[in-house]
Chains A and B, each alone.
Chain A
C-alpha cells in the first residue's frame, strides 16, 4: 500500500495556515510513519483501506463484465474464480472489517469523548503495521499462484487446490491482530478516558456502536485466527482436522469459520449504525429518538451475534434441530435492527431536516438496509432458505447489508467528517450527483440479483443458463453506474484536498465534542482545554454554541471559534437525559 505518495496533498494545506494543527505541526514522512496520534493513524488507515477498496471494487467490475453474457466473455473459469475470491477476501477481511473502526473510529472516537488520544497509542500504530503485514502476505499469496477457494475457504476444496491458500490464511491470521488491537484500544479508551461529565448516557451513539463492535472484535477474531492455524497445521503436518481423507470433518470447518464470520457481519454493520445515528441527529437537528434503545440494541446484537452462526449451514448436513434453534435466534437478532430503523425514522419527526450529502447517504442507508434486513428475514426462514441458500438471493441480501449498509454509511461518515479530517470542504453539487449515482447504481446492481437468486441462479458461477441473461445484464449496467459514482467521489475528494474551500470548525452545526470544542482542523492534542460535558450529545436545544450564526452555511464565513463549554450544573447526573425542553 503506497501510503506515502498520497500524503502530499494533505500536507500542502500546512504551510499556508497560521495555526498549527495535527496535520502541519510536523510534516516529514517519517513523522507520519512513526506517529502515535490517533488522528494521523486514522488517515494512514484511510489511505490503505481506500487502496484496497479500489482494487477490490475494480475486481467487482471485472466480475460483472464477465457475467454480462452467459458464456465466457472476458476471462476463463479459473480467472473468474480467482477474481471473485480476491474480491471477497479483500472486501471482507482487509476492507469492511477494519474500515469504519480503523478510519473513523480512530479519528473521531477520542475526539467525541473528549480524550487526548486512545488509551494505547503505540498499540494503535502497531495495529496499522500489522495490517500492512497482512496486506503483504496477501500479495504474496497472489504471487504464489493465487487463491480460488472463495472467501470462505471451505474444506476439503481449499486443501486440494494448492496455490497461495496457505499464504492467504496466514494473511488473515495476521490481519486479525490489527483488529484485535484496535478493539482492545477502544474498549479501554471508552472506559477510562471520557472527559468529565461524559457519562455513559451522554456517549454519542457512534461511540456506543464502536464499543459494541470492539467487544465482538476482541472475542470473535481469535476464532478465525485459530481456524486458519488449524488449516495450516493440517496441510503442513497432515493432522486430520477438516479433511475427510485424513479423518477430519469438513462441516467442522464450516462451524469454526462461521463462528467468527457471522459475528464479523456485526463488526461490519454496528459501526455503520453508529455513524447513522450521528448523521440523522445532526442533519435533522433533533435528539435521537430512543437513544437508550439504539445504544443497548447494539450491545444486544453484539451478544446475540455469537449465537446464530449455524444459519449459514441449513443445508450443510448439520442436524435439523440445530438448524431450528439457529433460525429462532436469528429472528431475535432481527428485532434490535428493526428497532433502530424505526427510531431513526422517528428522529426525523418534527426535526429540521437539512439535505446535505451525508444526510442523503443516511436516508439511502435507511432504504437499503431495510431491504437488507427483510431479505435477511427471508433467508432465515428454514424451508425457504433451502431454496435460496447459495443463490444470488444471498449475494443480493448481503450486499444490501454490507454495501448498501456499511459502505454507504462509511461514505456518509467520510463526507460528514471530511472537513474535520482535512480542513477542506468538498464540492456539494458533485457530491450530491455522486450520491445519486451510487444509490441508483447500487439498487440496479443488486435488486436484479435478488430476483435472479429466487429464480434459482446459483452463486459463484462463471457461466450460467441462457434464461438468466436479462437480469445479469441489468446488474452489470448497474455496477458500471455504481463504479462511475465511486470514481466521481475519488475525483472530487482528491480535488478537495488540493483546492477545496477552507472548512469552518463546525460546518454542519453538530453538537458533539469533535465539532463544538475543536478548531477547524484539530490540534495535535485535540483540545485546548479538557472539555466539560453538561448535556447529551444531541441536545440541540441546550447547545447554544452550535447556533453562533444560525447554521452551517452562515457559520462558514465566521472565524473558527472555540465555544466556552458551559459549567456543569450541581446535580450533574441526568439533567440532559430528563426531558426538559
Chain B
C-alpha cells in the first residue's frame, strides 16, 4: 500500500514516517469499510416497503455510545503519541550534522557550503546527517524534498533548519511549497545524493577560483544566483528585463517616468538595491543582492556587457 501512496523513500526518517502513514491509512480504511458496510446493510435491510410503516423507536444504548467515544479516543491518542515521537526525532538535529546554508528567493534556491562554494543544485553526502540553515531574501518559501519526507518554511526574518540523512544515491526533487507568486511552480532544484568520497571531490572542484576572468565569473553567477529565473539572455520577456542589449541602453524608461542610461553604475545599483529604480512595465519584485562581493558584482556587469553590442564611453 505504501508504494502506491508514497514516493520513493531516500532518507533515514522516511521509513518511520511511511509506517505511520500506512498505519493510519489502513486503520482508516478498515473503519471506513465498516461504516459504509453498516450503512449499506441498513439501507437494504430496513428499506421502506410500505409507505405507512411506523418503526418502533430503538432504545439508545449507553454501552454503544461509550464504546464509540472510548475506542476512537484510544486510537487517536496512539497515533498522536507515535506522531509526537517521530516529530521530536525530526526536530532534534544531530550535533555532528554537516551544515549547508540555503538561500531562497523568488524564484530559485542557492546552496552555500562551508568552504564558500555556492551552487543552484543541492549536493549532499550519503549516509550522514545534513543540516540546512535557511533564510529567504524576500517572501516566505518552503523547502520540501518529498523523497526525504522533510519540509520547512523559509522565512525572511529568521533562520529555520531541517536535517535529514540521505540513504540512497541519486537525484531527487526539491520543491517550494509555500506559494510565492508567478513562478512558484517553477521554483524547484535538484538534490544530488553522492557518496562521501565523490562529494569531497565535487566540493574541491566546484569552487569558483579567484582568478577566472570576470565575464566567466558573471556567467557562473548568472545561474548560481538564480538570475536566469527572471532575466533572459536571448531578448525574450520574462519577469525582469532581458540582459540582451541591456548594457549601454540609453533612454531606459523607468516606472516613475524618468529615463536612465544603463551604465555600470546603474546596473550596480540595480543589483545591490534592486528597488531603487524600477523599469517601466515591470514589478518591483527583485530581492537585493547585497550579499555579493565587489568582484562578483563586477563579474555580473562584465557578463552583461558581453551580452550587449552597445558601447559606452568609459567613465
Q: Do A and B come from one complex?
A: yes
With A289-B60, A335-B76, A377-B76 as known contacts, state yes or no: A353 contacts B54, CB within 8 Å.
no
With A160-B285, A355-B43, A458-B175 as known contacts, state yes or no: A315 contacts B54, CB within 8 Å.
no
User: Nearest Cβ in chain B — how far from A334, in angstroms?
Assistant: 6
- Interface pick from A165-173, A184-192, A224-232, A279-287: A279-287
Interface size for chain B: under 10, 10 to 19, 20 to 34, or 35 or more residues?
A: 35 or more
User: Nearest Cβ in chain A — how far from B232, in angstroms?
Assistant: 16
- What residues of chain A lie closer than 8 Å to B54, measured between beta carbons? 285, 352, 540-541, 547
- What residues of chain B lie closer than 8 Å to A139, measured between beta carbons? none
Give 5 closest A-B pairs by Cβ, nearest first.
Answer: A456-B146, A551-B51, A244-B157, A382-B87, A374-B28
- What residues of chain A lie closer than 8 Å to B64, measured between beta carbons? 346
The answer to whether the Cβ of B279 comes within 8 Å of any Cβ in the partner chain is: no
Q: How far is the CA of A551 from the CA of B55 in the complex (A)?
A: 13
- What residues of chain B lie closer than 8 Å to A464, measured between beta carbons? 185
Determine if B140 and A331 form an interchain contact, defined as CB atoms under 8 angstroms apart.
Answer: no
- What residues of chain A lie closer than 8 Å to B59, measured between beta carbons? 579
- Interface pick from B34-42, B95-103, B200-208, B211-219: B34-42
Determine if B156 and A156 form an interchain contact, defined as CB atoms under 8 angstroms apart.
Answer: yes
Q: Which of A517-570 contact B (CB under 8 A)?
A: 539-541, 547, 549-554
Contact of B32 among A316, A346, A370 (CB under 8 A): A370
What are 26 A-B pairs at a CB distance below 8 A?
Answer: A156-B138, A156-B139, A285-B55, A287-B57, A289-B58, A320-B87, A323-B87, A335-B73, A339-B69, A342-B68, A346-B58, A350-B58, A353-B48, A355-B47, A377-B76, A377-B79, A378-B24, A383-B89, A389-B177, A390-B151, A458-B175, A458-B176, A461-B184, A550-B50, A551-B52, A553-B51
Q: Which of A329-348 contact B (CB under 8 A)?
A: 331, 334-335, 338-339, 341-342, 345-346, 348
- What residues of chain A lie closer than 8 Å to B157, measured between beta carbons? 244, 249-250
Determine if B173 and A345 form an interchain contact, defined as CB atoms under 8 angstroms apart.
Answer: no
- What residues of chain B lie closer than 8 Å to A454, measured between beta carbons? 5-6, 21
Q: Which of B253-285 contact A (CB under 8 A)?
A: 283-285
Determine if A349 and B182 form an interchain contact, defined as CB atoms under 8 angstroms apart.
Answer: no
Q: How far is the CA of A381 from the CA of B24 in the complex (A)?
A: 9
The answer to whether the Cβ of A1 comes within 8 Å of any Cβ in the partner chain is: no
Contact of A383 among B53, B90, B155, B285 (CB under 8 A): B90
User: Nearest Cβ in chain B — how far from A389, in angstroms?
Assistant: 6
Q: How far is the CA of A540 from the CA of B155 in the complex (A)?
A: 59
Determine if B24 and A352 form an interchain contact, defined as CB atoms under 8 angstroms apart.
Answer: no
- What residues of chain B lie closer than 8 Å to A154, measured between beta carbons? 139-140, 178-179
The answer to whether the Cβ of B72 comes within 8 Å of any Cβ in the partner chain is: yes
Contact of A463 among B32, B57, B178, B185 (CB under 8 A): B185
Interface size for chain A: under 10, 10 to 19, 20 to 34, or 35 or more residues?
A: 35 or more
Q: Which of A365-399 contact B (CB under 8 A)?
A: 366-367, 370-371, 374-375, 377-378, 380-384, 386-387, 389-391
Determine if B179 and A250 form an interchain contact, defined as CB atoms under 8 angstroms apart.
Answer: no
Contact of B60 among A149, A290, A341 (CB under 8 A): A290
Determine if A383 and B39 form an interchain contact, defined as CB atoms under 8 angstroms apart.
Answer: no
Contact of B56 among A366, A383, A384, A541 (CB under 8 A): A541
Determine if B142 and A390 form an interchain contact, defined as CB atoms under 8 angstroms apart.
Answer: yes
- What residues of chain B lie closer than 8 Å to A278, measured between beta carbons? none
With A381-B83, A383-B83, A387-B151 known, 18 other A-B pairs at CB within 8 A are A77-B185, A156-B156, A250-B140, A286-B58, A317-B152, A342-B68, A345-B42, A348-B39, A348-B43, A352-B48, A366-B36, A370-B35, A380-B80, A382-B87, A386-B87, A451-B5, A455-B6, A456-B144
Determine if B173 and A551 form an interchain contact, defined as CB atoms under 8 angstroms apart.
Answer: no
The answer to whether the Cβ of B189 comes within 8 Å of any Cβ in the partner chain is: no
User: Nearest Cβ in chain A — how far from B11, in angstroms?
Assistant: 11
The answer to whether the Cβ of A237 comes within 8 Å of any Cβ in the partner chain is: no
Q: How far is the CA of A443 from the CA of B240 in the complex (A)?
A: 42
Determine if B25 and A456 form an interchain contact, defined as CB atoms under 8 angstroms apart.
Answer: no
- What residues of chain A lie closer than 8 Å to B50, measured between beta carbons? 550
With A286-B58, A289-B60, A320-B87 as known contacts, state yes or no: A551 contacts B32, CB within 8 Å.
no
The answer to whether the Cβ of B309 comes within 8 Å of any Cβ in the partner chain is: no
The answer to whether the Cβ of A421 comes within 8 Å of any Cβ in the partner chain is: no
Determine if A451 and B138 form an interchain contact, defined as CB atoms under 8 angstroms apart.
Answer: no
Determine if B55 and A317 form an interchain contact, defined as CB atoms under 8 angstroms apart.
Answer: no
Closest residue of A by beta carbon distance from B283: A162
The answer to whether the Cβ of B233 comes within 8 Å of any Cβ in the partner chain is: no
Determine if A352 and B53 form an interchain contact, defined as CB atoms under 8 angstroms apart.
Answer: yes
- What residues of chain A lie closer than 8 Å to B47, measured between beta carbons? 353-355
Q: How far is the CA of A579 from the CA of B156 in the complex (A)?
A: 63
User: Nearest Cβ in chain B — how far from A352, in angstroms?
Assistant: 4
User: Nearest Cβ in chain B — how far from A238, in angstroms?
Assistant: 14
Q: How far is the CA of A354 from the CA of B25 in the complex (A)?
A: 33
Contact of A352 among B6, B46, B73, B142 (CB under 8 A): B46
Closest residue of B by beta carbon distance from A465: B173
The answer to whether the Cβ of A293 comes within 8 Å of any Cβ in the partner chain is: yes
Determine if A81 and B83 form an interchain contact, defined as CB atoms under 8 angstroms apart.
Answer: no
User: Nearest Cβ in chain B — how far from A5, in angstroms?
Assistant: 37
Q: How far is the CA of A250 from the CA of B138 in the complex (A)?
A: 11
Determine if B84 and A315 form an interchain contact, defined as CB atoms under 8 angstroms apart.
Answer: no
Q: How far is the CA of A370 from the CA of B37 in the complex (A)?
A: 13
- What residues of chain A lie closer than 8 Å to B84, measured between beta carbons? 324, 327, 382
